[in-house]
Chain A
Amino acid sequence: MATQISPASGRDTFVGRAMSRVDGPAKVTGLAKYAGEFAAPNLAHGYVVSSAITKGRITAIDAAAAEAVPGVFKVITHENRPSIAGEAEAYQDMVAPPGAPFRALYDETIAFSGQPVALVVAEDFDTARYAASLVRVSYEAETPHTDLEAQAGSSYDPPEKRDGIKPPPEPWGDAGSAFDGAAIKVSQQYRIAHEHHNPMEPHASTVVVEDDGTYTVYDKIQGVANSQLYLTNAFGLKPEQVRCLSPYMGGGFGCGLRPQYQLFLAMLAAQDLNRSVRVVLTRDQMWSFTYRPGAVQTVSLGADTSGNLQAIRHDALHGTSQYEDYQENIVNWSGILYGCDNVELTYRLAKLDTATPGDMRAPGAVTGVFALETAMDELAYATRIDPIQLRIANYTDTDPVEEKPFGSKALKACFRQGAERFGWSKRNPEPRSMRDGKELVGWGMACGIWEALMMESSAKVTLTADGRLEVGNSTGDIGTGTYTILTQIAADALGLPMEHVTTKLGDTDLAKAPVAGGSWTAASSGTAVMKACRDVAEQAFKLARGLEGSPLANVDFERVVFSKGRIEVAGDPAKSVVLTDVMRQTGTETLEATGSASPDKDFAKQYEAYTHSAVFAEVKIDEELGIVRVTRVVSAIAAGKILNTKTARSQILGAVVMGIGSALHEESMLDHRLGRFMNRNLGEYHVPANADIHDIDVIFVDEEDKANPLGVKGVGEIGIVGTAAAISNAVFHATGKRIRDLPITVDKILAA
């Protein structure tokens, strides 16, 4: 039997299988500690006082009553805070968009509702919270502007582009004329509501002042390097003075990419009082920073009667804050997903009096692909072509923007396998043609697409004489399963049981790695770990080969595999040595190596790398009452090699649930007169409840990709992209009503 040699040089014992989370027991027994749970001697607790106005200035703060409460150390405001860095640039973190970042307690200016205006620091949380209720803040308020459509007139092309976000490409062909001349035209506006991430774990930071004057900082962050950079710049510290840790996160979804103001305030108070401080934000305060901004989009598709696209125009109006130009790639997908000779993509920002928006799971794609894929469904009806056939008619194996082939694109397999699992062939395309009792039944589908990214990353591994391996880097496991997949990769690379591998993450003392986001962690950290393990394997092999009478003498490294604690000649397992024997016999205490990974430039010159999906949804809608149930979703994913079918499936399941929320539930409602989000709790900001979720079927289609040695593309985001469009298309099929405004709530169904 041929030996399966994995790219990691061992056998694929664990990689590719359904392995339970290695951090599962710690999480379910409470051993896993989160940023707001770390203790320190004499720990003080900070509670944030939030602005009651949206725009204007603070005229006075009366903190006397709060400071008179026994147990209160200080009420820190812009008037009495310690000196901090003055220039806005010092507050720019690794993923900051262009602009001047928000500086908490900097001056009397109020730029958004809920802006922190004071930090009450006390000996316990309850005292701080009580005293915070006694702080009296007087304001001079100005009229806020938070209505995106009302600001359309002053929208603009952002002068400075956000790092890592491609601006819309130059138009090609002549989309205007081609659209005008097309036999079939679809042109509509699409809207998506503001959404807030709302992970279970609130934002929290614990700053511990050590005896030697250095700081140990526990922060809710998707990459500790970002917290460290931010603190060193804002507070004028050296990296060796600030160790940042974030071993576990109770959900990130992007709202933990940038350091948030509770980190700044905790460090500010720790320095001011020279004692350890913890600041935990409330659920309400989730609405005072980062969110997925709503957008108004126009998509125009022109096609011939056979459905061949002749023109694509996609325009997006997007909200940002007054002080930063946050940007997403919303419209570019419309130039990549289908082949078309005449394409025009435009993107504009409008300034709103809100906090700066931020990345939320598949930022840009959730918004843009919803509009594109709903428009494609409208085109399918206009041309009377099956939605899958329409997409196949416009299929492209080449990225039309970059004019390079995709390294891999198994989207057709997604169509085929997804349609078969869903039973798509039994669909009667006529709207309102399928029913089940009082409910109309609708079947809809859509495509998803996301970038397969990779970032520079390193990892260090240490093999000890007892055959145990420690693996680590500073990236975060935001609940996705990074601990588990890195453990699998390392165990396979050195032929060890997973129990003998310990993975450490989220600590700036570990090897440098980027924030966990963009679905790039598996490719980036995974490759770095694999390379480091490969290095240690080679060191061990050389020691083994040098042993007297070694069965590996005269064998090349490329010809051995590491399996079951042994180094053996591939195809000739009789020739092997025990790894721990090698260590012992050579008197080796440890072998260590640092591996680094970066995007393959040669590959990138030739190919583009994306993940794809085909999402199928069934809805049942009470015909008279308009109540929607999503009774089935099949999500077929092409994302390269799947490292762990269990944790990867969980990623898709969670993303589909989030997509259902985006389609039917999630909406942060603004009172534009006040400039304030009003439904600031989980009772009134609706995410799907268990009752809203029925069958979700995940398919991973085979796809070989060579963008990185592991062949992985990442699965954190692709599962949400296109899900809302599949549902909105199903709603149309069920009811004959096209709702282009998310979330699809009962009022819209009744009105349509």
Chain B
Amino acid sequence: MNRFDYVRAGTVAEAVQAFGSDPSARFIAGGTNLIDLMKYNVEKPGRLIDITRLPLNTIEERDGGLRIGALVSNADLAYDDRIRSRYPLLSSAILAGASAQLRNAASTGGNINQRTRCYYFYDEGTPCNKREPGSGCPAIGGVNRIHAIFGASDACIATHPSDMCVALAALEATVQVTGPDGDRAIAFADYHRLPGDDPAKDNTLKPGEMVVTVDLPAKDYGQHHTYLKLRDRLSYAFALVSVAAAFELDGQTIRTARLALGGVAHKPWRNLEAEALLQGKPATRENFQAAADLIVAEAKPQSENGFKIELARRAIVRGLEQAAAGTPQTQSDKRIQ
């Protein structure tokens, strides 16, 4: 761990100003990922700007939806009554991840900015294009059973590890950010990016920008939703494949379908074609299989993760079945429904 300066900001403006244009500065809230990365010498910030005192820890009504402050803890968010009743998919996804202790500390803004758990990214003894651009990607052809099957590049096959973000992608949240050039809103689908030839960049934040709120639209999918997470043990493991699914149904007919996958790409993975395919169709296993087939058709395996393609196909079908039946996966009993 390197030595760093520490600044505590009292307001959002102070935080942005303190960050300035220092490329070595980092905002810190819960620190559940950043501190680990510092211990591994992956992140070596010259300056930490503590934003935990900023007034961003409330959940407020806004335009029929909810506005979530960037500092609301994952636990507070998951257990908030409005979230549980109106956005149970988000609550469920958060509770599928990490541990109670981590969820108590981790913030909303930190969760969406957490970095990949690729083994090579964490190991400064190996090359990694995300850590050291241009050094190479040994995960390709290496130990990669947890890596991406969608949207990877020759430079990087890492996945985004968040569960919460998969739900936010399905719910079509908006990320409000502020920075040296003022405020702007980023649609969730545009927030994270694919690695391309610049895998060092996880998202589309500009230098010095910080997340202020995450806004949930009015459409809430309170009845027909699920977050199904498949992993190598039944708790405290990142997803091999996860599925956030939500429907608006007219009887058995699908009015709106939302589907996002986790653990399979550099960002929460959506396929709008597959969602469109389901629209107006009966909520049947055959239609779910067709959507799943469409999604996995563009999957590309690495040397050790080919199984994730078939696993994703099956998980999509099961997730859509759970959502359609109104029997969402519980996160307390690990038995898959």
Instruction: Give the B-binding residues of A (Cβ under 8 A).
Output: 50-53, 113, 126, 129-130, 133, 284, 438-439, 620, 622, 624-627, 629, 664-665, 669-671, 673-674, 676, 678-681, 683-684, 686, 688-692, 745-747, 750-751
B117 within 8 A of A: yes
Contacts of B315 in A (CB 8 A): 625
User: Cβ of A746 and Cβ of B334 under 8 Å apart?
Assistant: no
Binds A, one of B14-22, B140-148, B207-215: B140-148
Give A626's nearest chain B residue, CB to CB.
B311
Q: Is B216 an interface residue (CB 8 A)?
A: no
Check if A52 sits within 8 Å of B138, measured CB to CB. no
CA distance A443 to B235 in the complex (A): 23
**Inter-subunit contact A439/B233 (CB<8 Å):** no
Which one of A52, A439, A679, A684 contacts B125 once the chains associate, using CB atoms below 8 Å?
Answer: A52
* Chain B: minimal CB distance from A179 (Å): 35
**How far does the alpha carbon of A745 sit from the alpha carbon of B240 in the complex, in Å?**
11
Instruction: Tell me the bound Cα distance from A620 to B39 in angstroms.
Output: 39
Q: How far is the CA of A674 from the CA of B145 in the complex (A)?
A: 17
Interchain CB contact (< 8 A) of A746 among B41, B311, B337: B311
Instruction: Report the minimum CB–CB distance from A340 to chain B (whole Å).
Output: 38
Residues of B within 8 A of A439 (CB): 335-336
Contact present for B2 and A133 (CB under 8 Å) = yes
| Chain B, Cβ-Cβ closest to A284 | B40
B residues adjacent to A (C-beta < 8 A): 1-3, 39-41, 44, 117, 119-120, 122-126, 138, 141-143, 145-146, 230, 232-238, 240, 307, 310-311, 314-315, 317-318, 334-337
Are B123 and A747 in contact, CB atoms less than 8 angstroms apart? no
With a cutoff of 8 Å between Cβ atoms, the chain B residues found around residue A684 in the complex are 117, 119, 146
Cα–Cα, bound, A690→B234 (Å): 8
A629 engages B234 (CB within 8 Å): yes
For the complex, give the distance between the alpha carbons of A99 and B115 in Å.
44
Complexed CA–CA distance, A620 and B310 (Å): 20
Task: Indicate which residue in A129, A627, A683 contacts B1 across the interface (CB closer than 8 Å).
Answer: A129
Chain A nearest CB from B130 CB (Å) reads: 15
Assembly CA distance A92 to B234 (angstroms)? 42
* CB-based contact A746/B143 at 8 Å: no
Q: A678-B120, A678-B123, A678-B143 are in contact. Are A438 and B235 (CB under 8 A)?
A: no
Per the bound structure, the CA–CA distance linking A130 and B232 in Å amounts to 34
With A680-B123, A689-B234, A689-B237 given, name 9 new contacts (CB 8 A): A113-B125, A130-B2, A284-B40, A624-B317, A627-B336, A669-B143, A681-B122, A689-B236, A746-B311
Q: Which residues of chain A come closer than 8 Å to B230, judged between CB atoms?
A: 625, 627, 746
* Given A625-B230, A671-B138, A690-B235 contact (CB < 8 Å): yes
Residues of A within 8 A of B311 (CB): 625-626, 746-747, 750
Q: Give min CB distance, B177 to chain A, whole Å.
A: 28
A115 to chain B, nearest CB (A): 11
* CA distance in complex: A274, B238 (Å): 47
Contact A625–B123 (Cβ < 8 Å): no
Given A676-B123, A747-B145 in contact, is the A691-B233 Cβ separation under 8 Å?
yes
Give complex CA distance A688, B234 in Å: 8
- Write 11 A-B pairs (CB below 8 A) sorted by A numbering: A129-B39, A130-B3, A439-B335, A620-B335, A625-B315, A625-B318, A625-B336, A627-B336, A676-B125, A684-B117, A746-B230
A678 and B3 contact, CB distance less than 8 A: no
Contacts of B317 in A (CB 8 A): 624
Contact A676 B126 (CB under 8 A): yes
Q: Is the CB of B1 within 8 A of A625?
A: no
Q: Which residue of B lies closest to A621 (CB)?
A: B336
B337 CB contacts on chain A under 8 angstroms? 438
Whether the pair A691, B334 counts as a contact (CB closer than 8 A) is: yes
CA distance A625 to B236 in the complex (A): 19
Assuming the contacts A625-B315, A676-B126, asked whether A746 and B240 have C-beta atoms less than 8 A apart, the reply is yes
- Please provide the 3 A-B residue pairs with the shortest distance between their CB atoms, ordered closest to farther: A52-B125, A691-B235, A747-B307
A103 smallest CB distance to B (angstroms) = 22
Could you say which of B44, B122, B142 contacts A671, with CB atoms under 8 Å apart? B142
Most buried by A among B233, B237, B238, B337: B233
Partner of A686 from B122, B237, B318 at Cβ < 8 Å: B237
A625 CB contacts on chain B under 8 angstroms: 230, 311, 314-315, 318, 336
CB distance from B252 to the nearest CB of A (A): 21
- CB neighbours (8 Å) of A673 from chain B are 138, 141-142
Q: Which residues of A contact B235 (CB under 8 A)?
A: 689-692
Q: Are A130 and B233 neighbours in the complex by a CB distance under 8 Å?
A: no
**Residues of B with C-beta under 8 A to A665:** 232-233
Q: Which of A624, A629, A678, A745 has the most CB of B within 10 A?
A: A678
In the assembled complex, the Cα of A629 lies from the Cα of B337 at a distance in Å of: 13
Inter-chain contacts of A692 with B (CB < 8 A): 233-235
Cβ–Cβ contact B1 & A745, under 8 A:
no
Within 8 Å by CB of A674, from B126, B232, B238, lies: B126
Q: B residues within 8 A CB of A133?
A: 1-2, 41, 44
B314 near A624 with CB under 8 A, answer yes
Q: Cα distance A567–B72 when bound, in Å?
A: 68
- Could you tell me the distance in whole angstroms from the C-beta of A599 to the nearest C-beta in chain B? 41
Choose among B2, B126, B143, B317 the residue with the greatest number of A CB atoms under 10 Å from its CB.
Answer: B143
> In chain A, what residue has the closest Cβ to B236?
A689
In the complex, which residues of chain B have a beta carbon less than 8 angstroms from the beta carbon of A438?
336-337
A367 to B41, CA, bound (A): 37
A744 to B336, CA, bound (A): 18
A686: which B residues are within 8 A, CB to CB? 232-233, 237
List residues of chain B with CB within 8 A of the CB of A679. 119, 143
Minimum distance in angstroms from B121 CB to a CB of chain A:
11
* Distance of B303 from chain A, by nearest CB (Å): 11
Residues of B within 8 A of A676 (CB): 123, 125-126
In whole angstroms, how far apart are the Cα atoms of A17 and B142 in the complex? Answer: 52
Tell me, in angstroms, the Cα distance from A746 to B1 when the chains sit together: 36
Q: State the CA gap A686–B240 with chains docked (Å).
A: 13
Q: Which residue of B lies closest to A749 (CB)?
A: B307
In whole angstroms, how far apart are the Cα atoms of A664 and B122 in the complex? Answer: 25
A629 to B336, CA, bound (A): 10
> A129 to chain B: which residues have CB within 8 Å?
1, 39
Name the distance in Å between A35's Cβ and chain B's nearest Cβ.
21
Residues on B with C-beta less than 8 A from A750 are 307, 310-311
Q: Which residue of the partner chain A has the closest CB to B127?
A: A674
Closest-CB distance, A686 to chain B (whole angstroms): 5
A residues in contact with B318, CB < 8 Å: 624-625
Please report the C-alpha to C-alpha distance between residue A130 and residue B238 in the assembled complex, in whole angstroms.
Answer: 29
B5: shortest Cβ distance to chain A, in Å?
Answer: 14
Distance in angstroms from B146 CB to nearest chain A CB is 8
How many Å lie between the Cα of A670 and that of B238 in the bound state?
19
| Bound complex: CA A681 to CA B122 (Å) | 10
A686 and B145 CA atoms in complex are apart in Å by 14
Contacts of A629 in B (CB 8 A): 234, 334-335
A438, closest chain B residue (CB)? B336
What's the least CB distance linking A421 to chain B, in Å?
23
Give the distance in Å from the alpha carbon of A673 to the alpha carbon of B139 in the complex: 11
Q: Which residues of A contact B307 (CB under 8 A)?
A: 746-747, 750-751
Given contacts A129-B1, A673-B138, A674-B138, contact A689 B233 (CB under 8 A): yes
How far is the CB of A468 from the nearest CB of chain B, in Å? 42
Select A678's contact among B44, B119, B335, B336, beta carbons within 8 Å.
B119
Contact present for B123 and A691 (CB under 8 Å) = no
